[in-house]
Amino acid sequence: MQRKLNTVADQVEDMGRQQLVKNQEYVRRISNLAGCSGETDVEFDVAYTSRPQAGCDTATQVFAPVIEKTTSKHLPVDLHIGNKLCSKPNCNHLDRSCKKNYCDETSINQAEAIFLKKSLENIKNQNILKVTSVTTDGSASLAKAMREHNAKVQEKVHYFKCFIHNMRNLHKHLRSACINQPKGMDRLLYCKKLATAIRTRVRLELTRLRKLLRGDELYLARAREAVTYVLDCFSGSHDSCKHKSVVCTAHLKGHSTRYLPYGKNVVLSAADKQKKQKVLDKYCGVQQLRDTVQLHNTNRCENMHSRLFSYAPKSMVWKRSFTALCYSATLGASVGRGLSLLQLAGRCGINIEASDPMYRYAMFTQNIARYHSDRKQKHEYKTSRYLSHRKRANRAVLSQSLYKAPSKVTKEHDYGINLGN
């Protein structure tokens, strides 16, 4: 039984490697039709079986996909897997059946830089696609790896940092910047809502300017001006908003401040304003805006990580089958879970007809996945998701309301107002 399972795992690996080549050929065909001659932008991110910690290596396996950004499918075009585990006792780690491919003496934290350079070299050697830019998170080791790679090749590859990661860091440091809240307001809640409002405003400014302006230098100049006047706008001073901002609606009759903490203009002292502006200058300065000038992100890589760990949960140790599960996740992301199941069955010699329950189940899974993918692109889904997030964010405010307090005052003065939970 175990030997048969190992055979199936080997078949999955071969199918996954072949599918990566097919994905590259498909992307090249789409790129040629668009007049880009095989050029593509990619994103890269790694996932560990255990989060890396300073001073020790708790992780033993790493998954590093490369995903293209040319087509709407966002297909994986390359994959590297690091595994320090071996299921065989007294193994020399030279046999093909041994899945250990990462040295014990090498830190697993270095895997992201090593695999990034290997992926770029592998794509270049296959001579199917031409990588023009790479988007990763803000890791310093990845930036160094890109500099080392560009020093060896003639055609430079542009390096961008993830826009979403930068916004997360901005939000985190804005929340931690201690300020004196106005009287009668909760300080932690006030800082949280103010950080959320600033992050949302900055994101809207940058995304709208990127759509309006094609030149990078013009975008950087306008983006820097828009970010600088965010705090003044929130404080009620809209003198420069009409010329500097593409989001502020203070010049319109329907302007409202309900998006600000407690629905009022922000009142900050000079010291508090300087703290917030310092954080904005750190994460939205000229260099940071230049690193995220294309507003690319690594969301598709994180989706791949989520798909992998649904196949191989971190709560279990996968020594031999981890590589097969990684390629299975890659195959499922490329053609769908249902079609990948049918392809694997045909590869293993199982004849499946259209009337068989296995075929019906595979097609049902494929159709359900396509339905949910289309549903998440609709405006109704995005609106309901936004409302649910806002409802959860306002729970701390609503918990202090008299209408939610279990007292006699609530019953005597209940006017049928339902504020929600």
Residue type for 226, please?
A
d(CA 228, CA 168): 19
Q: Are the beta carbons of 67 and 42 closer than 8 angstroms?
A: yes
Q: Look at 44 and 58; give whichever has higher pLDDT.
A: 44
Least confident range from 44-53, 234-243, 369-378: namely 44-53
* Mean pLDDT (whole number) for 48-64: 76
d(CA 409, CA 412): 5
State the pLDDT confidence band at 419, using cuts at 50, 70 and 90.
very low
Nearest to 394 by CA among 371, 418, 419: 419
Half-sphere exposure (Cβ direction) of 126: Cα atoms closer than 13 Å: 22
Q: Above 70 in pLDDT, residue 32?
A: yes
Tens digit of each residue's pLDDT (9 = 90 or more) over 161-187: 999 999 999 999 999 887 877 777 778
Half-sphere exposure (Cβ direction) of 311: Cα atoms closer than 13 Å: 20
Strand-strand pairing, 39-44 and 130-136 = parallel
Strand-strand pairing, 130-136 and 61-68 = unpaired
Rounded to the nearest 10°, the torsion over CA 405, 409, 410, 413 is -150
State the pLDDT confidence band at 136, using cuts at 50, 70 and 90.
very high
pLDDT at 289: 94
Locate 182 and state its tokens: 């106005």
What secondary structure letter does DSSP report for 34? Answer: T
**Burial (CB count within 10 angstroms: exposed 0-12, middle 13-18, buried 19+), residue 281:** middle
Locate 24 and state its tokens: 């590259």
pLDDT at 5: 74
**Percent of the chain whose predicted confidence (pLDDT) is above 70:** 91
pLDDT at 406: 53
d(CA 274, CA 309): 43
Question: Is residue 92 helix, strand or coil?
Answer: coil
Q: Look at 406 and 332; give whichever has higher pLDDT.
A: 332
Tens digit of each residue's pLDDT (9 = 90 or more) over 184-200: 777 888 888 899 999 99
Tens digit of each residue's pLDDT (9 = 90 or more) over 361-394: 999 999 998 898 888 888 889 899 888 887 877 7
pLDDT at 54: 59
Planar angle of CA 398, 402, 405, nearest 5 degrees:
85
Strand-strand pairing, 61-68 and 39-44 = antiparallel
Helices of type H across 153-186: 163-176
* Mean pLDDT (whole number) for 89-95: 76
d(CA 53, CA 238): 46
First to last CA, the chain: 52
Q: Above 90 in pLDDT, residue 92?
A: no
Domains of the chain, CATH where assigned: 2-161+296-334 (3.30.420.10), 164-291 (no CATH), 379-412 (no CATH)
3-state helix, strand, coil in the chain (%, to 5): 55, 10, 35
d(CA 97, CA 324): 12
* Mean pLDDT over the full length of the chain: 86
State the pLDDT confidence band at 421, using cuts at 50, 70 and 90.
very low
* Mean pLDDT (whole number) for 275-291: 93
pLDDT at 420: 46
> Considering the entire predicted model, what is its pTM?
0.84
pLDDT at 55: 58
Helices of type H across 213-321: 216-228, 230-234, 241-244, 270-283, 286-291, 299-311
Locate 203 and state its tokens: 């994101």
pLDDT at 185: 77
Residue type for 27, please?
V
Tens digit of each residue's pLDDT (9 = 90 or more) over 192-229: 889 999 999 999 999 999 999 989 999 999 999 999 99
Q: Are the beta carbons of 292 and 162 closer than 8 angstroms?
A: yes
Q: Are the beta carbons of 9 and 321 closer than 8 angstroms?
A: yes
State the pLDDT confidence band at 113, using cuts at 50, 70 and 90.
very high
pLDDT at 144: 92
